[in-house]
Structure 1
Amino acid sequence: MTLSPLRLRLLIASLLTVSFLGALDHTIVATSLATVAGELGALEHMSWVVVGYTLASTVLLPVLGKLGDLVGPRLVFLTSLVVFLAASVACGFAQDMTWLVVARITQGMSSAGIQLMSQTIVAHVTTPRQRPKYMGVIGAAFPIAILVGPVLGGLITDYWGWPWVFWINIPFGLAALGLAVFAVPHVEVGAPRRFDVAGAVSFSIAFVALVLAVTWIGDPAAASAAVVAFTISAIAFAAFFLIELRAVEPIVPLRFFANRTIAAGTALSAIIGVGLFSVTAYLPTYFQMAYRTSATVSGFVPIATVFGMLVANLSTGWLASRTGRYRVYAIGGTSLAAAGLLVMSLLPVGTPLWVPMAVMFVVGVGTGSFMSLIVAVVQGAVPRNETGTITATVNLVRQMGATVATAVIGGVIGVGVAARLPASLDASTLTPQLVHGSSADVQAQVAQIYGDVLAPVFAALALAYALGIVAAVLLPSGRLSDEHEPAADVATEPLTA
């Protein structure tokens, strides 16, 4: 499908705005959480404002991806955007925590639709050769949201009040909606097809149970509940795979993975979630404890990481569209990230802060080199009427990898630090402020403990990226095509021209 240059620019502007709003709602709420929980009187349920959003957006990915293929991405995108704006209004008017959590879950569900359909629509209106450039622009929304979200959330909360953290979506969202109504094209979906209800239900049960299990596993009081949740998850996943093998229109077609491009690309996407997204949340705490920095200064390292990701994401998207080459960026990116995380595992505690900042910038560059590019490459390996499904699958494995690995790393840090702390310190009340106010000997001891606990974590993540190098090498070589024609058969390798 070919659009005029003006309509294509308006479309990309609309998709970028909406993608940014969806990504921003992952990050902008963090700095207002304490204020929200205090005013609504439900501090114990505070985490569900974030967890509910993330869980809902992940669970709905395969469902909305398949719906995009069945009814067209335009309808799913516009509906998701309208629901997202309505949920944003509801969040700001919340009178209690239950109201807010339900509205946030609705926001998360609709966020999955706008993020996913943005990538799907780009795939429908561009050739494989053009796609990386535009996918890189859309993909830039996530790192920009990480950079500005917490600061913007704090400023809005302090000067306008926390409801405006949600209401700020309305004017920008309405402008994007106006552009989208004009610019997003209708996509022919062909004859009506059956929706895989059983697959959607079994996957939702399996994933929710898995997230609850890995969340509870570190709490001795919830150990039995974690075992039950793991059991339910295992049974539901087994049922899901059996259903997908037999379904006429599976939400995750397992036959896709017979294609080397799809199998390698999906593995690379999972490694991004496991290898980098999972540890980013813990970097500030690590540097506050191990390097004895303030909360503000500790934020420089994840900022450097995300900035590297942003620069590489835009650069490689432009280069891949210009040259048609894509495999070299995946190989180089995974190699850079693996080397950077290995260096992080070997850095002695007390190294000047600019050193880990530089190292994590390199890790960000490595990840950004193929973060959006790999989605564009995999989209070119399926027929057009399966674009939403494969886009959802690639995003799903990334989200699942990040969610599960984040919980695992949090448990490793919690258990490892608690086991090594001296008797004079209580792990449940340990804060950076408490450590910084202690004696120099205690500060040095805690710093070394965090260094000892995080070193093997960084090494394990480096190993994950090393596996990514193998997946990148397995990608078929060749160039992205300049043709709009869809792949005729998912078992072929249609990227070479």
Structure 2
Amino acid sequence: MRLRLLVISLLTVSFLGALDHTVVSTSLATVAGELGALKLMSWVVVGYTLASTVLLPVLGKLGDVLGARRIFLSSLVMFLAASLACGFSQDMAWLIAARVLQGMSSAGLQLMSQTIIARVTSQRERPRYMAIIGAAFPIAVLVGPVLGGAITDYWGWQWVFWINIPVGAAALALALVAVPHLEPGPMPRHFDVAGAAVFTAALVALVLAATWAAERSAGPATAAALAISMLGFVAFYFVERRAPEPVVPLHFFANRTIAAGTALSAIIGVGLFSITAYLPTYVQMAYQTTATVSGLVPIATVFGMLTSNLLTGWLASRTGRYRIFPILGTSLGAAGLFVMAVLPAGLPLWVPMIVMAVVGMGTGAFMSLIVTVVQGAAPASQTGTITATINLVRQVGSTVATAIIGGMIGFGVAALLPAGLDASTLTPQLVKGAAPAVQASVAQIYASVFTPIFIALAATYAVGIVAAVLLPHGRLSDEPVPAPQTTSESLSA
């Protein structure tokens, strides 16, 4: 019974964290208009994403050192306070600062939810529960934009953030009862402050470079941020090699399961999460649909992901076998994206819906499962650290790939548009009002621009097939996870 209450609590807070990333999108225009800072609008999302990404390795290490329960509860309290501050924002700077705090706390909720499940279940039980918690993201993608629009229209944009308070407070009360007191690992002799600082600086520079590249408005700044990022990651490599207690233990990647699982996690971010933001634009332009109808394709993708995630989690827990699911999943993803690349323009909309649903099913087949597999390959005392690494590569892969795809679309469409059409002012409404010949030309341009993108993403999943095949054979263990040693135990050993 307590485990069920724990899963409900973790699912609720994971859903809140995921929802806060998607629900804001439909209220951004209203927020920017009322606060009078349209140019800063994107930073409401970027600040949240940036903060939630860069803190992952630090929070993972702190979870191992201080205990997952303590970090989880602190993150939840901070998330509620930040949500309250967002709703009371008087200007855009205030809102962005509050969103940064929300992003920081959201990272703790996401990460510690997975860490706690890993600490209280056996590896065999874990896929089922991890799939349930992992369902928070696709559900948030499905309902977030619609819910955000409805709340903004009927209650005001402030309630997009304030709605977290009653739900989060109930989840906090449940968590205080259901989340067990887990023994932390041994206190490190030296916390890797240098590694954490260098890694954070390098990652912030990388995310900023990717964001500015997508905006295509800050050439020198983008180049400088990218250079700083590359130098930072080189410095981070050397710092971590010498650190006695590294924040990201590089020796983990000598383990084949961890190396292959990390690659598969990155492929999810690069291969699917990066393209979903552009699918509605592609459908509106290539299939001449309305904005509302264009949302059906990403919805089909996410629904396939949700169904497959829950099914494979249940099957893996029931049978103990896991290797077949990432092999089948990456194969489905590669095949589906290749089919998207060769689909001719003008087909009925249900065709790309089915194809992208297959891609979503392939991704869902190993989305949560691979976290379980990698957690089982790391020492129990470093569960938070390895869980953070898996989530980190997925988010960074998604952020960087999203920026690259955005740049390819912008450059490709601008280069191919016929005379008289400006890419910077081209909208679906403008295209629908144009002559049939112009509509057909724009549809063909978007199809030709997206073709190499889909092929590149299919190739990414093909690399994932190799990574999945490299996963060692084996079955998930029924043995309970041993508690890490406390400081006194480690001293007496």
TM-score, normalisation: structure 2? 0.97
- The superposition leaves residues 373-421 of structure 1 with CA deviations (integer Å, 9 ceiling, x where unpaired) of 0000100011111000000000000000000000000000000000111
Give the letter aligned to residue 124 of structure 1: R
Q: Where does 1:156-195 land on structure 2 (aligned, <5 Å)?
A: 156-193=151-188, 194-195=190-191
Aligned counterpart for 1:244 among listed residues 240, 243, 251: 240
Secondary structure of 2:124's partner?
Answer: coil
Per the alignment, residue 114 of structure 2 pairs with: 119
2: distance between equivalents of 1:175 and 1:485? 29
Amino acid at match of 1:73: A
Q: How does 1:81-92 map to 2 (within 5 A)?
A: 81-92=76-87
Question: What secondary structure is seen at the aligned counterpart in 1 of 2:60?
Answer: helix
Change (3 A) 1:302 1:220: closer
What is the correspondence of 1:25-64 to structure 2 with a 5 Å cutoff?
Answer: 25-64=20-59
Superposition RMSD in Å: 1.1
Counterpart position of 2:67 = 72
| 2:329 corresponds to which of 330, 333, 357 | 333
Within the candidate set 360, 371, 377, 1:375 is matched to 371
Contact map agreement 1:127 1:483 (CA 8 A) in 2: yes
Q: Deviations over 1:289-345 (max 9, x none)?
A: 010000000000000000000000000000000000000001000000100000000
Q: Does the 8 A contact of 1:15 with 1:138 survive in 2?
A: yes
The amino acid that maps onto 1:138 is: I
Separation in structure 1 between the aligned mates of residue 68 and residue 110 of structure 2, nearest angstrom = 11
8 Å contact from structure 1 (residues 65, 390) kept in 2: yes
Given candidates 392, 407, 416, the residue that maps to 2:388 is: 392
The amino acid across from 2:431 in the alignment is V
Alpha carbons 1:383, 1:486 under 8 Å: kept: no
**Aligned letter for 1:110?**
S
| Contact 1:65-1:391 within 8 A present in 2 as well | yes
In the alignment, the residues of structure 2 paired with residue 219 and residue 14 of structure 1 have an alpha-carbon distance, to the nearest angstrom, of 38
Contact 1:218 1:415 survives alignment (8 Å): no
Answering whether residue 237 of structure 2 is matched by residue 224 of structure 1, we say: no
The aligned counterpart of 2:281 is 285
d(CA) in 2 for partners of 1:384, 1:145? 30
Distance 1:415 1:215 in 2: 16
d(CA) in 2 for partners of 1:461, 1:20: 28
Identify the residue that residue 409 of structure 1 maps to in structure 2.
405
1:299 maps to which residue?
Answer: 295
Give, in whole Å, the separation in 2 of the partners of 1:219 and 1:25. 23
Q: Measured at CA, do residues 301 and 178 of structure 1 come closer, stay the same or move farther in structure 2, by a change above 3 Å?
A: same
Aligned to 2:201: 205
Alignment partners' CA distance in 2, 1:248 and 1:260:
23
Percent identity, aligned pairs only, is 74
Q: Partner amino acid for 2:315? A: L
With over 3 angstroms needed to count, the CA separation of the structure-2 counterparts of 1:487 and 1:446, relative to structure 1, is farther
- Structure 1 CA distance, aligned partners of 2:346 and 2:219? 37
Q: Do residues 135 (structure 1) and 130 (structure 2) align? A: yes
Task: Report the alpha carbon displacement of residue 485 of structure 1 after superposing the two structures with TM.
Answer: 4.1
Q: How far apart, in 2, do the equivalents of 1:48 and 1:219 lie?
A: 12
Q: Report the CA distance between 1:216 and its aligned residue.
A: 2.8
Gaps of 5+ in 1: 1-5, 489-497
Question: What is the aligned partner in structure 2 of residue 268 from structure 1?
Answer: 264
After TM superposition, give the deviation of residue 486 of structure 1 in Å: 4.5
Q: 1:299 to 1:485 in 2, by over 3 A?
A: closer
**How far did residue 220 of structure 1 move?**
6.3
Contact 1:330–1:369 (8 Å) recurs in 2: yes
Indicate whether 1:360 and 2:337 are aligned: no
2:479 to 477, 483, 488: 483
Q: Which runs of 5+ in 2 are unaligned?
A: 485-493
Q: Distance in 2 between matches of 1:128 and 1:439?
A: 60
* Contact residue 280 and residue 298 of structure 2 kept, 8 A: yes
Secondary structure at the aligned position of 2:419 is classed as coil
CA apart distance, 1:217: 3.4
Asked whether the equivalents of residues 340 and 352 of structure 2 are also in contact (C-alpha less than 8 Å), the reply is yes
1:225 and 1:62 map into 2 onto residues whose CA distance is 26
Distance 2:91 2:280 in 1: 30
Task: Return the alpha-carbon distance in structure 2 between the equivalents of residues 261 and 386 of structure 1.
Answer: 15
Q: Matches of 1:10 and 1:485 in 2, distance apart?
A: 20
